[in-house]
A and B are shown apart, each in its own frame.
Chain A
Amino acid sequence: MEKEKVIEIEKLYKSFREKHILRGIDLTLHKGENLGIVGKSGIGKSVLTKCIVRLIEPDAGHINVLGTDVVTCDGEELNELRKKVGYLFQGGALYDSMSVRENLLFPVRRTQFVDRKLDTEELIERSLRSVGLLDAIDKMPSELSGGMKKRIALARTLILKPQIILYDEPTTGLDAVTSGEISELIQQIREEYQTAAIIITHDMKCARIATDTIRIMKEGLFVTEGTYDELSRSDEKEIRDYFV
């Protein structure tokens, strides 16, 4: 039996002036699946994920996320949908005027999120424990390293218990050990929170550890799809080159 589809994208187009970034992208993400997207810089990977949460308005195409038509839904519907979709930004995007605790409390308070089992303080502690940074609860973002910032940003994403997480280059700018830890963490989070995820990455180690399938993007389209092992042993040199 086919798994439930959580994201369905059909013929998605996006241009910035004369530059055509997305040229008719089709994509399906199933429940519990971790999909990696690999491609050169500036090819439109981040644009794609930003279109999914309508941070960028697409020019044409259909995007259906958890049963909501992202392109045509109104502001309230979009807001409700966004609470179910987590987004991990490349730089973490922590609110620098707030402590770690306040960073995590902020989305709970603002969305009036209620957990049936845990109170707010327990929710914060659980999220921080999931990323292994409970000790950093009273620190300010300026006191954290790059890896810690990403983990805290992930904890902030997890606190609303999203069904889908979009990771925008989760290991960029981190050393090999930390990026390995983050990749493992992505896997753990899938198991603990039962999430589906799209992971944009240049880091092949991350792609190997954290994804089930990988799609390679070129000139605004996906050119191939497969598991890490399948693609790394591809007959085409151009595909294999991504995995060197």
Chain B
Amino acid sequence: MTKNRLNVKQLNLKQKLRVNDDTRNFYNGVFIDLGELVIFTGNVIKQLFQPPFEHRELVKQGFLLGNKSFALVVVTGFIMGLVLTMQMNPILSDFGAQTLLPGVIAVSMVRELGPVITGLICAGKISSGIGAEIAAMRVTEQIDAMEVSGTRPLSYVVASRVLATTIVVPVLVILADAFSLLGAFLAVNIFEETSTTLFMNRAFSMLGFIDLFPATFKTVLFGFFIGLIGSYKGYTAGRGTESVGQSANSAVVASSLTIFVIDLIFVLITSIL
């Protein structure tokens, strides 16, 4: 009986230790991952400045990645502008501030909603796609084949994709903003007839440099990290086929979180300024 009780105690202790080990391993894993990502980022940035430059691959990736998300981004932007206007119109009407509606929509879309929503869409579509594609190349030894022939896959495969997303994501955000204003314009016209000129004047009268510059700059960072994290997850994928799915999945999670963190930092900075 005593022996049995001891065994149960030992078992409990073992389980506790195992839980501690798992927790420790998890935190170690996070820090190791972060450290590796920093080294990976440094190597990718270095490759951006080393010839031969892959202009054709950059254009091809830019077109493919942009094309992949274009429809979703503009439709989402349009609907958001439309819905936001329909939701806000009654509230602003109550305060007799209906004329402010185009400006409020423009500021909220350009400053926050456009970049963040587009960023999240791109994290889901582009980052996961890059993660899965590069992981599949790793599994089928295509990356290894590039490495052993001295062709520097980090430059060809990764740097070109990172640069492409850095350029494409801000363009997609601008498109989403534009289509959201179109949606807002249509919604405003449901309630009362408004001319395009008047709508645009009211919308842009509330937008200043402080709204445009940080918003555009943060989308550049969104694009960079969407490409980088997708590439990193794919490049460091395991050898089995299941790692393709895992890479895609973790790329979405990590890049979505990164978008929120970058956004938070920019909100704090702009609120101080």
Minimum CB–CB distance from A20 to chain B (whole Å) comes to 20
Q: Does A93 count as interface, using CB distance less than 8 angstroms?
A: yes
CA distance A157 to B144 in the complex (A): 13
Asked if A53 is an interface residue, CB under 8 A from chain B, the answer is yes
Stretch binding the partner chain, chosen from A3-11, A30-38, A78-86, A121-129: A78-86
- Interface residue ranges of B128-152 to A (CB < 8 Å): 137, 140-142, 144-152
Assess whether B40 is interfacial by the CB under 8 Å rule: no
Q: Are A93 and B142 closer than 8 Å at their CB atoms?
A: yes
Kindly state whether residue A226 has any CB partner on chain B within 8 Å.
no
Given A110-B52, A110-B156, A112-B52, the answer on whether A93 and B150 have CB atoms closer than 8 Å is: no
Q: Is the CB of B147 within 8 A of A93?
A: no
CB-based contact B152/A79 at 8 Å: yes
Q: Tell me how far the C-beta of A240 lies from the nearest C-beta in chain B, rounded to whole angstroms.
A: 34
User: B137: which A residues are within 8 A, CB to CB?
Assistant: 95
Q: Which among B52, B140, B142, B145 is the interface contact of A87 at CB below 8 angstroms?
A: B145
Within the complex, which residue of A83, A91, A153 is in contact with B150, where a contact is CB–CB below 8 Å?
A83
Cα-based distance from A111 to B51 in the complex (angstroms): 10
B221 to chain A, nearest CB (A): 28
Q: A55-B147, A109-B52, A112-B52 are in contact. Are A93 and B152 (CB under 8 A)?
A: no
> Which residues 255-270 of B have a CB within 8 angstroms of A?
none
A63-96 interface code vs B (CB 8 A; 1 in, 0 out): 0000000000000000111110111011101111
Q: Given the interface contacts A109-B52, A110-B156, does A91 sit within 8 Å of B149 by beta carbon?
A: no
B14, chain A: closest CB distance, angstroms: 20
Q: How many A residues touch the partner, as a band?
A: 20 to 34
Chain A residues, Cβ within 8 Å of B147? 55, 82
- Does any Cβ of B come within 8 Å of A193's Cβ? no
Distance, CA A157 to CA B146, complexed state (A): 11
Q: Tell me the complex Cα distance, A110–B152, Å.
A: 8
| A107 at interface by CB-CB < 8 Å | yes
Residue from A82, A94, A95, A112 within 8 A of B148 (CB atoms) = A82
Query: What mask results when residues 145 to 169 of chain B are scored 1 for a CB within 8 Å of chain A, else 0?
Result: 1111111100010000000000000
* Cβ-based interface call for A207 (8 A): no
B141 contacts A107, CB within 8 Å? no
Closest to B147 in A: A55
Hey, which chain B residues are within 8 Å of A90, CB to CB? 141
Chain B residue with minimal CB distance to A157?
B149
Chain A nearest Cβ from B256, distance in angstroms = 27
- Say yes or no for A160: interface residue by CB 8 A criterion: yes
Which residues of chain A are near B52, meaning CB under 8 Å?
A: 109-110, 112
Contact of A85 among B140, B145, B146, B148 (CB under 8 A): B148
Q: A82-B148, A90-B141 are in contact. List 6 more A-B contacts (CB 8 A).
A: A81-B150, A86-B149, A87-B148, A95-B145, A110-B52, A153-B145
